[in-house]
C-alpha cells in the first residue's frame, strides 16, 4: 500500500522528500529546515506530532506515512472513535475530544508535541445534517487547537477544502485568492479556520499552514463528503458490479489520489518558512465528472452497471469549483502531482481488491443525506 513506497526517515529528510515525493529541482529545498529540532549535541531529532481526528480517511494513512518517516513513537494518533487493533499496534493512540481543551493540553505537554495536524471535522454532507454539532466541532474545536498551538509554539496544519468556495467564486479555474462565500456550514467553518490561522500568524507569529484539498480518493471509507462517490464506486463496483451515483453524470469536481494528497502535506510541512508566500494554498491533481470516472472504470469492470439518482449533494457540488488553480503551490514550494485519472483508477482497483474487499463492505456511503 501507500506507505510501503515511502522511504524511512533520515536525518537529511529534505533530500529524501525530494526523491520520493517528486519535488521539483528548486535549489532552496536543500536549505536547513527550520522545523528540525536540534539537540545540544548538534544532532537533529524528528518532530513529535499530534494528529486529531486521526482515525478518519486521511488520518489513518497520514499516520502511517509520518511514522515511516519520523518513527512510530513520534506520531500520536487521537480520535473519539474506537480504534481498530491495527491502529493500536502501530504506535501511540489516545482518546482526545477536540472540544476538551485541557485534555489536549495534557497530551501536548506529556508527549512534548512539536507539530499538530488537525483533521477532526464534520464533512460537508454530514455537517448539513447537524449544523449545531458542525459549529461546535469545526469552529469551537478549531479555536481550541489554534490556541494550543499558540501557547506551546507548535507548527499547526489545518486542511481546508474546495468547499471553502461558493456560487460567487469563479469555478473554472478557481484561483488561490478570490471571492469565497460558501453555502455550507462546512465551507463557512473552513473559511473561518483559514482566516483565523492567517490572523494568528500575522499577529502572534504562529506557524500556521493550510492546504485546500479537493476530493481525496483512497480505499479507506470516506467520512460523509460530497466527493465520496469517487471512492464508493470502487467498493460497490468491485463487490456488486453496480453503483447508484448521487451526482449528475456531468458534475465536474477537482480530485486527488491519497498518495498525492499526503505527498503535498508532507512536502508542505517541511518547506522552509521563507519559501511560503502564503499560509493557505490550493492543491489539486485532476478534475473529472462521474461519467468520465466511470468510463475509465469500465476498462477494469466491463459489466459494471451505473444508475444516477441525484440527491442534496448535487446542490453542494454545483456551488463548488470545477477546476482548481494550484499554480501558486507549484511556483512557491514545487508541488507536483503524480496520479492522473488513468493511474488513479488502476491503483484504486488494485488497492480495494487486495486490501479492503475481502474484509469489509461499504454500506453507508450512499445514505448520508
Ligand atoms: N476527505 C476529503 O476528501 C477531504 C477533502 C478536503 C479536506 N478534507 C479535510 O481533511 C480533514 C480530514 O478529513 P477526513 O476525510 O479524514 O474526515 P473523516 O470524517 O474521515 O475523519 C474525521 C475524524 O474526526 C473525528 N472527530 C469528529 N468529532 C471529533 C471530536 N469532537 N474530537 C475529536 N475527533 C473528532 C471523527 O471521529 C473522524 O475520525 C478534515 O478536516 C476535512 O475537512 C478532507
Q: Domain count of the chain? A: 1
CATH number, domain with residue 77: 3.40.50.720
Confidence (pLDDT) at 220: 85
Q: Is residue 132 part of a domain?
A: yes
Q: Is residue 357 part of a domain?
A: no
Best mutation site among 58, 82, 158, 321 for ligand 1 pocket (most ligand atoms within 8 Å of CB): 58
Tell me the per-residue pLDDT of 260-304, one tens digit each, with 9 for 90 and over.
Answer: 999 999 999 999 999 999 999 999 999 999 999 999 999 999 999
Place of cell 474545536: 141
Q: Is residue 365 part of a domain?
A: no
How far away, in angstroms, is 121 Cα from ligand 1 center? 4
Q: For residue 222, which atom of ligand 1 is closest to its CA?
A: 20
Atom 29 of ligand 1, nearest CA residue: 120
Confidence (pLDDT) at 222: 81
| pLDDT above 70: residue 203 | yes
pTM confidence score: 0.90
Q: For residue 160, which atom of ligand 1 is closest to its CA?
A: 7
Q: Is residue 366 part of a domain?
A: no
Across 86-100, 229-243, 353-367, least confident range: 353-367
> Burial letters for 213-247: b for 16+ Cβ neighbours within 10 Å, e otherwise?
bbbbbbbbbbbbbbbbbbbbbbbbbbbeeebebbb
Our answer on whether the CB atom of 53 is closer than 6 Å to any ligand 1 atom is yes
How far away, in angstroms, is 90 Cα from ligand 1 center? 20
Our answer on whether the CB atom of 52 is closer than 6 Å to any ligand 1 atom is yes
Q: For residue 126, which atom of ligand 1 is closest to its CA?
A: 19
Q: Is residue 314 part of a domain?
A: no
Are 166 and 178 in contact by the 8 Å Cβ rule? The answer is: no
Range of the domain at 119: 2-218+257-285+323-339
Neighbours of 355 (CB within 10 A): 13
Any idea what DSSP says for residue 84? P
Amino acid at each position: 500500500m501507500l506507505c510501503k513506497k515511502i522511504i524511512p526517515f533520515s536525518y537529511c529528510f529534505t533530500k529524501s522528500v525530494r526523491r520520493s515525493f517528486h519535488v521539483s529541482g528548486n535549489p532552496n529545498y536543500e536549505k536547513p529546515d527550520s522545523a528540525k529540532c536540534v539537540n545540544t549535541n548538534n544532532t537533529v531529532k524528528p518532530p513529535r506530532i499530534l494528529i486529531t481526528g486521526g482515525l478518519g480517511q486521511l488520518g489513518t494513512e497520514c499516520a502511517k506515512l509520518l511514522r515511516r518517516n519520523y518513527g512510530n513513537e513520534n506520531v500520536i494518533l487521537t480520535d473519539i472513535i474506537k480504534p481498530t487493533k491495527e491502529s493500536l499496534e502501530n504506535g501511540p493512540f489516545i482518546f482526545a475530544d477536540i472540544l476538551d481543551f485541557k485534555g489536549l493540553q495534557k497530551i501536548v505537554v506529556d508527549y512534548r508535541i512539536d507539530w499538530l495536524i488537525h483533521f477532526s471535522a464534520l464533512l460537508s454532507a454530514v455537517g448539513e445534517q447537524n449544523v449545531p454539532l458542525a459549529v461546535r466541532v469545526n469552529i469551537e474545536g478549531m479555536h481550541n487547537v489554534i490556541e494550543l498551538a499558540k501557547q506551546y509554539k507548535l507548527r499547526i496544519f489545518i486542511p481546508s477544502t474546495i468547499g471553502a468556495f461558493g456560487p460567487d467564486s469563479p469555478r473554472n479555474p478557481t484561483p488561490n485568492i478570490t471571492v469565497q462565500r460558501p453555502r455550507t456550514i462546512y465551507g463557512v467553518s473552513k473559511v473561518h479556520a483559514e482566516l483565523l490561522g492567517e490572523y494568528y500568524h500575522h499577529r502572534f507569529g504562529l506557524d500556521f499552514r493550510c492546504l485546500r484539498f479537493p476530493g481525496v480518493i483512497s480505499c479507506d471509507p470516506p467520512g460523509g463528503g460530497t466527493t465520496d462517490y469517487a471512492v464508493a464506486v470502487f467498493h460497490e463496483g468491485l463487490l456488486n458490479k453496480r453503483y447508484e451515483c448521487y451526482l449528475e453524470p456531468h458534475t465536474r469536481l477537482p480530485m486527488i489520489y491519497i498518495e498525492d494528497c499526503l505527498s503535498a502535506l508532507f512536502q508542505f510541512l517541511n518547506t522552509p518558512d521563507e519559501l511560503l508566500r502564503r499560509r493557505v494554498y490550493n492543491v489539486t491533481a485532476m478534475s473529472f465528472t462521474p461519467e468520465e470516472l466511470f468510463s475509465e472504470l469500465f476498462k477494469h469492470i466491463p459489466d459494471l452497471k451505473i444508475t444516477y439518482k441525484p440527491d442534496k449533494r448535487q446542490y453542494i457540488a454545483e456551488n463548488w469549483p470545477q477546476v482548481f488553480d494550484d499554480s501558486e503551490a507549484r511556483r512557491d514550494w514545487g508541488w507536483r502531482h503524480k496520479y492522473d485519472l488513468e493511474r488513479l483508477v488502476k491503483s484504486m482497483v488494485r488497492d480495494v481488491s487486495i486490501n479492503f474487499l475481502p474484509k469489509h463492505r461499504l454500506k453507508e456511503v450512499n445514505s448520508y443525506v
